[in-house]
Amino acid sequence: MVRILTPDELSAKLSRLSESQIPAIKEGMQAAVLNVEACARRNCTPGQSPYAKAPYSDDRDPHREPPHMRDTIEGTVVVEGTAVRGIVGTPKHYALPVHEGTSRMEARPFIMDAIKEKEEETRAILSKALEESLRRECV
Amino acid sequence: MRAEIFQAIRSKLLLDTVLTSYIGEEQVFRSKPGAIITLPAVTLQPNSESSVVRAGYNNSKVRDNNPVLQVGVWVSANADGFPCSGEDADVIVGRIDAILLDAASPIPGTSGWMKVTSSQQYEGDTGLWHNAARYSFRYSVIDS
């Protein structure tokens, strides 16, 4: 069935649409964040890391309190108004020098590389979530 | 990253008289942690790079590459004058932004420059300010 809307009705419907899609996009973002998080953890795993030396410390290193940085990488989703943000990070204080490098240590951007590697998959996950939600809304 | 693209980026930075007035001539290097370099300096480190074959690749042999370049700015807090602080390092990064993101005068063979991350650290033991900025861009290659 085709329904013809006035400009005001169309404007109202589109306005409602942008807000009604947020839960679906949030759900999609949660899946995308998990995907990036897994990749970032893999980047810190010896034998699977793309770097010559995986950022994974020796268990006997006195300067490294357990758990390993790899095991503290976590993602979260924040919704602010109509903006949905996915965040992947680690609370370890030495994560930034590892990620950005120092004068004596090469950068190993384990999170940035994960974001780039999963960029297409992130787009696909978010597109699918939005598409399915729009279909439910419009059909 | 292809050597000619890396060299084009380095040359573009070294040709900028404002940047070289901040850091000196020839002060842009490929990143080699542990190497002794005169400060201030700018280092370049290619990070990840993806490559996608373009539609019609069987005939054209064209691939589109999308690298991420990490640019490091190194400033000694022990220097007598500019640049010697975190703010000074920010000024240098600002100039690098202006050079690399200048759409009117792109680096030959590249396009779509975007700044993707930026951070600043202070190394207490060495007295170094270190800004790390990342940029993504595109270039195409034709396979033989």
ipTM of the complex in this document: 0.90
Cα A72 from chain centroid? 15
* CATH assignment of B3-142, among 3.30.70.1150, 3.40.630.10, 3.40.50.620, 3.30.70.1700: 3.30.70.1700
**Contact check, Cβ <8 Å, A107/B45:** yes
Q: Does the pLDDT at position A81 exceed 80?
A: yes
Q: Which of B121, B59, B133, B65 is nearest to B93 (CA)?
A: B133
Q: What is the pLDDT of residues B12-31, one digit of tens each?
A: 999 999 999 999 999 999 99
Arithmetic mean of pLDDT over chain B = 96
For the ranges A114-128, B33-47, B122-136, the lowest mean pLDDT is seen at B33-47
Beta bridge partners of B141: B63
Partner-chain residue, chosen from A102, A105, A113, that has the shortest CB–CB distance to B47: A113
Using a CB-CB cut-off of 8 Å, the residues of chain B touching A102 are 33, 121, 123, 130
| B119 and A CB contact within 8 Å | yes
Q: Domain spans of chain B?
A: 3-142
Measured CA to CA, the distance from residue A127 to residue A130 in angstroms comes to: 5
Q: Which residue in chain B has the smallest CA separation from A99? A: B132
Partner-chain residue, chosen from B34, B116, B121, that has the shortest CB–CB distance to A100: B121
Band (A139; pLDDT cuts 50, 70, 90): low
Tokens, residue B113: 């420059």
**Contact check, Cβ <8 Å, B121/A106:** no
pTM of the prediction? Answer: 0.89
**Contact check, Cβ <8 Å, B121/A116:** no
Q: What is the pLDDT of residues A90-130, one digit of tens each?
A: 999 999 999 999 999 999 999 999 999 999 999 999 999 99
Q: Domain spans of chain A?
A: 7-50+67-138
Partner-chain residue, chosen from B50, B72, B123, that has the shortest CB–CB distance to A116: B50
For the ranges A48-62, B50-64, B111-125, the lowest mean pLDDT is seen at A48-62
